[in-house]
Copies of this chain bind each other. A is one copy, B any other.
């Protein structure tokens, strides 16, 4: 078994922020040492298995969460089962911001997930005491809004090819320029993210492979070959 960067912590125990591998990427980065301790004091570490629901659309927003390891699917559903993934969350991402009194989306663990849970009231009180934390949250929320607007353009106006190309390029940057992209999510997740069906996603990936734009070693491992070509497709240029 591979040793994770983040040390395994028993669920329910207090977080050890100073050793946390995602601190630099997360909202916690805005806090100096002693303030970080105050945040840590209200955090509870939680473990989730694959498919486990972290928070449920429509239910009272009891807590905020910060992912320390694993991937999470954020999604909304229609009564007949149609599902729209609004986003994927990675280690360091903050969940629950998109809430008023009730959660707006459901968060489901894709694989094993570890996160810090902050009870809503205590977190909000602390946020008011720590201006740099609120600053950071506003920045995160604004950034999420920009992402959301980009996704509306994708969902409302882009073709299947453009959607899949955009998706591949979005995944590209965080994973670095070398090596293949590892997809933590299934075709079904991707389809629900892009507003398509699994078949269309699969067909489009196969087409990109035939055209020499990508290489599919295994189903969940994509190597980008012709980034510029994909970029042209994604942005609908030429």
Contacts and interface: CB of A to CB of B under 8 A. Distances in A.
B236 A79 contact: yes
Interface in A89-148: 97-100, 104-105, 128, 131, 134-135, 137-138, 141-146, 148
B135 A128 contact: yes
Contact of A146 (B83, B99, B153): B99
Interface in A39-84: 74, 76, 78-80, 82-84
Contacts of A146: 98-100, 104
Given A83-B157, A128-B135, A157-B82, A145 B149 contact: no
Contacts of A78: 153, 157-158, 235-236
Interface residues of A, number: 43
Contacts of A104: 145-146, 149-150
A30 interface: no
A149 B76 CA distance: 8
A155 B156 contact: yes
A237 interface: yes
A151 interface: yes
Interface of A: 74, 76, 78-80, 82-84, 86, 97-100, 104-105, 128, 131, 134-135, 137-138, 141-146, 148-153, 155-158, 192, 194-195, 235-237
